[in-house]
Every structure is written in structure tokens, then in C-alpha cells.
Structure 1
């Protein structure tokens, strides 16, 4: 019996974003089929400590992630992802920070591939924190970019992100901005990755056709999107129970009466649906579910365990 431990370098070398997107896409489809046992995550100290678990029935495999969140430190996420499987004595322990940013990006890649116009290539990213690089990588993997605008209240942090990504985005027009409302006016895709507690931009600032991903708000007290956007868009979510418990923007819109539960479609259901019809504005709202961590951990297991 042995335990393999993999760090950020190991994970990045082993799992390219395209593979993570494919794995998470398959995971969402299995989730829609009911093939996961996946309780809503445990949140302690108002989300500063999280415990997530998932069991995949067809493979008799399970993942447990424990992490702490502190936006005043680097990295903000710290913890472990542990993989185990019936009939296998060996186990794998992975860095939770890297798995979390990778799987969150992968989910955005899946949703963007499904919902964004095929020709979309202008991305506005709001928030230049730890989640930001994988948001860009995921969108670029499914919709090759020709313009990236990074919005952050810290101009140097925005510039640092564009400089870091420059070698990965040859030929892409890289810009920074401080005004989110102005920066989304010409966007075809918007990614929100902040810890905001109020909407980042007014709904009229968006163009008539746009796809918006919102990944930052994961507690009822947090919000990135205005009610008016949710009321007038096709809204796809990761998992209903998790969203109703944790998504501040969805909870707020439901309580305001501008959105109903029936208007929410889980991503796995959308992926397996026969109709691709949706409004000119689409939103993917995710709070993150354990299946995504399981999907990346399974890739790591395939690569590092005999």
C-alpha cells in the first residue's frame, strides 16, 4: 500500500486544460444521470473552511477535499484532495489549490463551449486573483481569443496577469482596465472571478449578445451579477441544491421575484439535452461541486497510480 502525493508542478505537467475540460464535461453528464453520491459541501466559519466529497457509483471511487480560504494570503486556497477506490490499496493526495483552480476553469470551459457563440473571441475577465489564469486558459481552449481585457481595482495585479499569460496567448490583444462597466461593453464572453458582495456591472452595460461566467461568489452574502441580467438570460448552473444553498446572486434574484427555480438548468442536463436553443444572453453560474474535483483527481490517479 502506498500514497502518492502530487504538488502544483506535478498537476500542471500531467493535466492540460483540454483534458480537464473533457473530464469535467463527462462528470457533469454522469451527475445528470444520477451516478454520483454527492452531499452539499460543509462550510465552516462562513466559508473559510470547506469539506467536499463525491462518490462515483460506476467506478466505486471517491474523493474528499478539505481546504481553507483566506483572501489575505497567497495562495488563498490551501488544503488537500484525497482519492480512494474500492479494490485499490494505493491512494493519491493532491494539492487542493491547484485542483480547485483547474477544475473551476474546466467547468467554465465546458459551459462556454456549450453556450458562447462559435465565433466569440473577445473576453473580459473581472478579477485578477488566483482563479483568473485558469479562467482564461479554459475559455481560450474552447474559443480561441483575439482580445483579452483584464479588469481589476489593482492595476499592477492586472498587468501582472497579462504579462504572465502573454507567452500562452501569442497574437492576442492584451489589455487592462479598472472600469468593469466600460470593459464589458464590447465583450463576447465575460468571466467574473471576484469575492464581490454587490454586482460588478449594470445589466445595460452588456452587449445584446454575450455569454457570462460567474465563479467568484460561493456564499449567500456574495454577489457578482445583477438581478436584471439573470431575469433576461438563459441561466445554466452547476447543481441546483448547491446553488440554492450558496449562490448569493441566484438567492437574491429568487427572493426579488425576478427569477424562478424552473428557469435554472443544470449544466449536465443542458449537455444531454436535444435542443441548443437559448437567449442571446447566457449565464453560467457555478459555486463549485465535488464532482469537478473528483474528475481531475481521477485524471491524476490514471497518470500517477499504477
Structure 2
């Protein structure tokens, strides 16, 4: 028996964003088909410590992730992802921060590919932290960008992110801002990746047709989107049980009466629906679920445990 340890460099070298998007998409289709055993994650100290697991019945494989979250440090996310199969003695242990960023980007790529208009090319990204680069990479992979605006209260941090991404975004107009409201007015796609506790912009600031991804708020006390946006949009969520327990936006909108549970559709169900008609405004809300980590870990296992 041996344990293979995989760090950030190896993860980035062997798993492309396109591969991660394809793997996560299939993972959600399998989740909707009942092929996973996936408990709601354990959150300790109000989400500063998280434990997640997923078991894929057809392959008798499982993923276990433990991590700590602290927005005052860099990187904010630290921990391990463990991959195991009943048919093999070898295990894989991967850096949880890298896997989390990659799989969070990938699910946004899946949702954007499903929900954003085919011609969408202007992205406004709110938040320039650790999850931000893969948000851009994922959207760009499914909707080639013509314009990117990065919004952050720290303009220097926004500029640093744009400079880092510039080599990957040849021909894309790159802008930075500190105010989200004017930045979202002309966007085709908006990605929210912050630790905000109040909405980042009013619903009225958005164009009539727009797709919004919100991945930053993962606790009931956190909130990036206003009730009015959720009430007037088609809302897709990663997994209903997790959303109802952890998503501040959804919990607030339900309690205020802005939406009902019937308004929420799981991503796996939406992916399996023939020719969905999603309307002019769409929202994808994710708190992050273990099937995403399983999908990326499986790609790593295929390469390092083969």
C-alpha cells in the first residue's frame, strides 16, 4: 500500500479547466441519477472548519475533504483531499486549497455554459481573492470573453489579479473597479466571489438579460445577492439540502417570502432537462458540495494511481 501526495503544481499541470468542467458536469448528472451517497458537510466554528465526503456507488470510490478557512490569512483555505477505492490499496492525498478553487471554478463553468446566452462575452467579477482566478478561467472556457471587469474594494488587488490573468486572456479588454454597481450594468455574466454579509448590488443595477453566479457565501450569515434578484430570476442551486442549510441568500429570500422552495432547481436536474428555457435573468447559487471535489479527485487518481 502506498499514498501518493499531490500538491498545487501537480494538480495544475495535469487537470485543465476544461477537463474539470466536463468532470464536474458529469458528477452532477450522476448525483441527480442517485449514484452518490453524499452527506451534508460538517461545519465547525461557524464554517472555519469543514468536513465533506462523497461515495460514488458504481465505482466504489470515495472522496474525503477536511479544510480550515480563515480569510485573514493567505491562502484562506488549507487542508487535504483524500481519494480511496475499495478495489485498490493505494490512496491519493491532494492539496484541498487547489482542488477547491479548481472545482469551484468548474461548477461555475458548468452553470454558465447551461444558463448564459451563447453570445455572452462581458464578465464582471466581484472579489479578487483566492477563488477569483478560476472563476474567470471557467467562464472564459465556456463563453470566450471580450471584456473582463474585476471589482474589489482594494483596487491594487484587482489590478494584481488582472495582471496575473492577462497572459491567459489575449485580446480581452481588462478593466478594474471598486464599485460593483456601475460595473454590473453592462455585464452579460456576473460572478460573485466574496465573503460579504450584505448584497453586493441592487437588483436594479443589472441589465435586463444577465446570468449571475454566486459562490462566495457559504454560511447562513453570509449574503451576496438581493432578494429581488432571486425573486425575478430562474434560480439553479448546486444541491438543495446544502443550500437550505448554508446559503444566506436563499435562507433570507425564503424567510422574507421573496421565493419559495419550488422556485429552486438543482443543477443536476437542470442539466438533465431537455432544452431548458431559463428566461432573461438566471442565477446559479453554490455553497460547494462534495461531488465537485470527488470529480476533480477522480481525475487526479486516474493520472497518479493508474
TM-score higher than 0.5 here?
yes
TM-score, normalised relative to structure 2: 1.00
- Give the secondary structure class of the aligned counterpart of 2:140: helix
Residue 275 of structure 1 and its aligned partner are, at CA, apart by: 3.5
Q: Is 1:28 the equivalent of 2:28?
A: yes
1:226 match:
226
Q: Is 1:39 the equivalent of 2:39?
A: yes
2:58 match:
58
> How far apart, CA to CA, are the structure 1 residues paired with 2:147 and 2:99?
27
2:133 match:
133
Residue 278 of structure 1 and its aligned partner are, at CA, apart by: 1.3
TM-score, normalised relative to structure 1: 1.00
Residue 274 of structure 1 and its aligned partner are, at CA, apart by: 1.5
> How far apart, CA to CA, are the structure 2 residues paired with 1:276 and 1:195?
31
1:109 match:
109
Compute the RMSD of aligned alpha carbons: 0.4
- Tell me how many residue pairs correspond in the alignment: 306
> How far apart, CA to CA, are the structure 2 residues paired with 1:241 and 1:262?
13
Q: Is 1:86 the equivalent of 2:113?
A: no
Instruction: Write the deviation string for residues 46-100 of structure 1: whole angstroms up to 9, x where unpaired.
Output: 0000000000000000000000000010000000000000110001000000000
Structure 1 runs not aligned, ≥5 long: none
1:170 match:
170
> How far apart, CA to CA, are the structure 2 residues paired with 1:94 and 1:280?
40
1:295 match:
295
1:188 match:
188
Alignment of 1:228-243 (within 5 A): 228-243=228-243
> How far apart, CA to CA, are the structure 2 residues paired with 1:90 and 1:72?
36
1:210 match:
210
> How far apart, CA to CA, are the structure 2 residues paired with 1:276 and 1:118?
14
- Give the secondary structure class of the aligned counterpart of 2:90: strand
- Give the secondary structure class of the aligned counterpart of 2:149: strand
> How far apart, CA to CA, are the structure 2 residues paired with 1:190 and 1:13?
28
> How far apart, CA to CA, are the structure 2 residues paired with 1:300 and 1:227?
39
